Chains A and B, each alone.
Chain A
């Protein structure tokens, strides 16, 4: 029995699964993630093939699990360990007590996060933001995003140091909105809607198209047709 992560190394299995996965993807995933699999940043719908992974590390088994049980889907096996608090509201987080932040504190955090892309000149704000990011009583950002702000794919906390933004374009306005109003995207669980084989085939299809540096993407690109013309 092939394990999910062994499939990419077995061309005959990949070849078998790709057309099935492509068709199942088009019918179930493309509506949100797009036929090009590149998502919608303005709506927090992630690009699936940019080699940047919110949950897991991009293994086929990671992808399969998200498709199977979803994210904040209501399935107890889905990913739902944390959400981005709304720090600019009276009660930032529903799961436990967190202090609200003031507009100035949020601006400091924005400065700190944008400093990773060398986009900030106010170094005092960056320093204050960094302190707040690592504070224990306020902010507490490190708890999910790690002290180095590189995130934690075990709970879906994104890396904040790279230029990839799940929501928006990385502008100060978008980052401020994310910190102020919070975020909690979701993905349905397909375990009760699709056969296990179809779910695995979608995972194979998505996995095959991930743009990994130094690797050639799969022959069955989104716009192409397979050998059967589907």
Chain B
């Protein structure tokens, strides 16, 4: 051991002065250390409570202003001016430019103040805007992604029913009402005769003249989805797959028995890849967005501490991402 314990041993002659000097030096060091700490705290405090302490004195050429080191881009400035004045930037007067510049500086100041006041915690509009901004930022990569043709073709080939034209249905809907002295069985029997007559080649006029039947509706070239809305699910299911010229069996609904004569039925036909590509691309991106957002939310949940109240915690299950713009 060399001499770490030397100071605890009896000093040689003259060493008492050395020790005293050492003691004074420590006091001075502590004092200077304290002063340094205090100055540091003061500078830090100024920087913390007075944002001007952190600004730069240089405005880079692509910016028209810097507000607490936050740039106001010239491009944004020019667009803002043109939006407000409706004239090209080059034709704007100096006064107009200065006015818009001041507006943008003021906006930046207010936004920064809004962040200080933490409006995200208390203001619903700010929360909605933040939700939307984070969502869009997270999805930006997918929104403008350029999937390969192989990826799109795979999507196309795996969903042939989706990439087809919408079917188009034209039909006459005849109704044999129940009630007014006509029983359910009687109405059904009449409807059956109506269907057989139409199948046998009778015209619509002949049938409506011969039987107590009314034409409730003529559906002229409805897309399948519209026909489904107009007819209702039950009648649509009985009709949509029938060929042109055929007649449905009687279908019982609340108001009586319906018989549908299909005038024309253009069944869905596959779209070529080239025609469907835009739709395929949108679908692909939508699926990727959902996947990405679910991953993002999973990541956020994993790094967060989420406590659910006792009356809900047993039932609470995170739901899949419902799609963009879904902020409640």
A5 interface neighbour in B62, B90, B279, Cβ under 8 Å: B90
Whether, in the assembled complex, B12 has its beta carbon less than 8 Å from a beta carbon of chain A, the answer is no
How many contacts between A and B, using CB within 8 angstroms? 88
Cβ of A31: which chain B residues have Cβ within 8 Å of it? 146
CA distance A133 to B146 in the complex (A): 34
Whether, in the assembled complex, B246 has its beta carbon less than 8 Å from a beta carbon of chain A, the answer is no
Whether, in the assembled complex, B236 has its beta carbon less than 8 Å from a beta carbon of chain A, the answer is no
Cβ of B229: which chain A residues have Cβ within 8 Å of it? 90
Whether, in the assembled complex, B318 has its beta carbon less than 8 Å from a beta carbon of chain A, the answer is no
CB distance from A213 to the nearest CB of B (A): 21
List 12 additional A-B contacts (Cβ < 8 Å) besides A72-B143, A188-B144, A196-B75: A4-B75, A5-B88, A61-B78, A61-B82, A61-B89, A65-B75, A68-B75, A74-B137, A74-B140, A104-B220, A173-B275, A177-B275
CA distance A181 to B146 in the complex (A): 20
Which residues from chain B sit less than 8 Å from chain A, CB to CB?
61-62, 73-76, 78-79, 82, 88-90, 133, 136-137, 139-140, 143-144, 146, 166, 168, 220-223, 225-226, 229, 271, 274-275, 277-279, 282, 325
CA distance A197 to B223 in the complex (A): 51
Of all A-B residue pairs in the complex, the 10 with the closest CB atoms, nearest first, are: A74-B140, A188-B144, A74-B136, A196-B62, A90-B225, A74-B143, A103-B221, A104-B221, A186-B144, A103-B168
Considering the complex, give the chain B residue whose CB is closest to the CB of A107. Answer: B221
Considering the complex, give the chain B residue whose CB is closest to the CB of A197. Answer: B62
Whether, in the assembled complex, A10 has its beta carbon less than 8 Å from a beta carbon of chain B, the answer is no
CB <8 Å contact, B144 and A187: yes
Whether, in the assembled complex, A13 has its beta carbon less than 8 Å from a beta carbon of chain B, the answer is no
| Known A-B contacts A5-B89, A103-B223, A196-B62; A76 and B278 likewise in contact (beta carbons under 8 Å) | no
Cβ of A32: which chain B residues have Cβ within 8 Å of it? 146
| Known A-B contacts A77-B76, A196-B75, A197-B62; A102 and B143 likewise in contact (beta carbons under 8 Å) | no
Q: Among residues 78 to 101 in chain A, which have CB atoms less than 8 Å away from a CB atom of chain B?
A: 88-90, 94, 100
CB distance from A210 to the nearest CB of B (A): 17
CB <8 Å contact, B223 and A6: no
Cβ of B223: which chain A residues have Cβ within 8 Å of it? 88, 100, 102-103
Cβ of A72: which chain B residues have Cβ within 8 Å of it? 143-144
Whether, in the assembled complex, A183 has its beta carbon less than 8 Å from a beta carbon of chain B, the answer is yes
Whether, in the assembled complex, A59 has its beta carbon less than 8 Å from a beta carbon of chain B, the answer is yes
| Known A-B contacts A6-B90, A73-B144, A189-B140; A196 and B221 likewise in contact (beta carbons under 8 Å) | no
Sample (12) of A-B pairs whose CB atoms are under 8 Å apart:
A3-B74, A3-B90, A31-B146, A42-B274, A44-B278, A88-B166, A88-B223, A100-B223, A102-B220, A102-B226, A183-B278, A196-B62
Whether, in the assembled complex, A75 has its beta carbon less than 8 Å from a beta carbon of chain B, the answer is yes
CB <8 Å contact, A100 and B144: no
Cβ of B89: which chain A residues have Cβ within 8 Å of it? 3, 5, 61
Q: Among residues 28 to 72 in chain A, which have CB atoms less than 8 Å away from a CB atom of chain B?
A: 31-32, 42-44, 59, 61, 64-65, 68, 70, 72
CB distance from A96 to the nearest CB of B (A): 12
CB distance from A38 to the nearest CB of B (A): 18
CA distance A68 to B82 in the complex (A): 17
CB <8 Å contact, B144 and A43: no
Cβ of B82: which chain A residues have Cβ within 8 Å of it? 61
A102 interface neighbour in B137, B139, B221, Cβ under 8 Å: B221
CB <8 Å contact, A89 and B225: yes
CB <8 Å contact, A1 and B74: yes
CB <8 Å contact, A184 and B225: no
Cβ of B222: which chain A residues have Cβ within 8 Å of it? 102
CA distance A174 to B225 in the complex (A): 22
Cβ of B279: which chain A residues have Cβ within 8 Å of it? 181
| Known A-B contacts A89-B225, A183-B278, A196-B73; A75 and B136 likewise in contact (beta carbons under 8 Å) | yes
Cβ of A88: which chain B residues have Cβ within 8 Å of it? 166, 223
CB distance from B325 to the nearest CB of A (A): 7
CB <8 Å contact, B166 and A180: yes
